[in-house]
Structure 1
Amino acid sequence: MAAFSALSPVFAQTSTPAAASAPAAQPAASAPAATKREARVEERIAELHSSLKITAQQEALWSKFADVMRDNGRTMADLYRQRIAQRDTMSALDYMKQYEQITQANADGTKRLVEAFEPLYASLSPEQKKLADVSFRDEHGKARHGRAHRHPHAAGADAASATKP
């Protein structure tokens, strides 16, 4: 489940008014953070690929799953960047609406992640399934009890992009 938590924000893509009204140019300080988030998603993808022992025959299914992780990560990173850029000018209602948008994007991303993971999981050998079960369960525990409590904004974006699977 940890992989799911990290990936779910990455899956979701949304076209809500808040996203459309966000400033086109991102603050310079967000570029390094975005690069770090993308790197963490790529690290998680590589880690899962290796730990699940993905075979050549499973590679096409794996690629679809990894692409959803990347997409979710980008979506969540964009939403969190918007939130940070607008936080000083948002009303309480705006804040709640943006939180709704992020939560919905996370749910949508998780759904896409599950849809991409299901055929991959079905293709795994019994040994690989055990590895996946343990990896996701262990990662979910880390996400819930680790960085999520220390850095809620960063953990949200990371969780969405790389923790779900």
Structure 2
Amino acid sequence: MKKTLVTLACALAMSGAFAQTSAPASAPVSAAASVSAAKAGHERNVEDRIAYLHTQLKITSAQEPQWNAFADVMRNNGQTMGQLFERRKAATNLSAVDDMKQYATIAQAHADGMKKLVDAFDPLYSSFSPDQKKLADVTFRQPGGAMGGGHRHHGKGAGKQTPADDAGAQS
């Protein structure tokens, strides 16, 4: 389960951090507008994953308080990681040592965020019915984890139905 949650947080942190929208070639885009568009894209990705998991895990109204706590941690982690990646992207002329320090900061933020995510997920998972636990176990074991897009995967096995898809179809 820990490996799955690590995958979840990593996918959350990494996906969308570099999301940008394209502007028409004739319209110049300022750096601020580009950062704003990337931030909006990242937030949209996080919200899409939250909605996907809410549906996939069949969250009940009784589970909403635990779910909301978990979703808020996902949002906060996504915001933190997005900011750190934007800072990394904006940094120029870093020495190798500074680059490593910056990466260490990202890795530490990821670890801290993962701990918060586990702490928020534990009571939610405990509230699940046996069927929901099975769905969660399968969903979080999918390639890319539950946060890795959930719907489409590229590369080996692309287009194949996953056990989570089968579980969702059986319900």
Q: TM-score when scaled to structure 2? A: 0.69
Deviation at 1:84, TM superposition (A): 0.6
2 CA distance for matches of 1:91 and 1:8? Answer: 24
* Count of aligned pairs: 129
2 CA distance for matches of 1:139 and 1:46? Answer: 19
Task: Among all aligned residue pairs of Structure 1 and Structure 2, give the percentage whose two residues are the same amino acid.
Answer: 51
Choose 1 or 2 for highest CA Rg: 2
2 CA distance for matches of 1:67 and 1:112? Answer: 10
More relative contact order in 1 or in 2 (CA 8 Å, sep 6+)?
1
Question: Does 2:84 match 1:85?
Answer: no
- Show the counterpart of 1:138: 142
1:100-119, Cα deviation, whole Å (9 max, x unpaired) = 00000000000000000000
Question: Does 2:122 match 1:113?
Answer: no
- Which stretches of structure 1, 4 residues or more, deviate above 6 A after TM superposition? none
Question: Does 2:56 match 1:41?
Answer: no
1:20-78, Cα deviation, whole Å (9 max, x unpaired) = xxxxxx74312111111110000000000001000011000000000000000000000
Higher helix fraction (1 or 2): 1
2 CA distance for matches of 1:70 and 1:117? Answer: 14
Equivalent residues of 1:3, 1:139 under 8 A apart: no
- Show the counterpart of 1:16: none
1 CA distance for matches of 2:107 and 2:9? Answer: 15
- Show the counterpart of 2:81: 76
In the TM superposition, what are the counterparts of 1:1-165 in structure 2 within 5 Å?
1=4, 2-7=7-12, 27-86=32-91, 88-140=92-144, 143=148
Deviation at 1:91, TM superposition (A): 1.0
1 CA distance for matches of 2:56 and 2:82? Answer: 26
Deviation at 1:140, TM superposition (A): 3.0
Equivalent residues of 1:8, 1:109 under 8 A apart: no
Unaligned runs of 5+ in 1: 11-25, 148-165
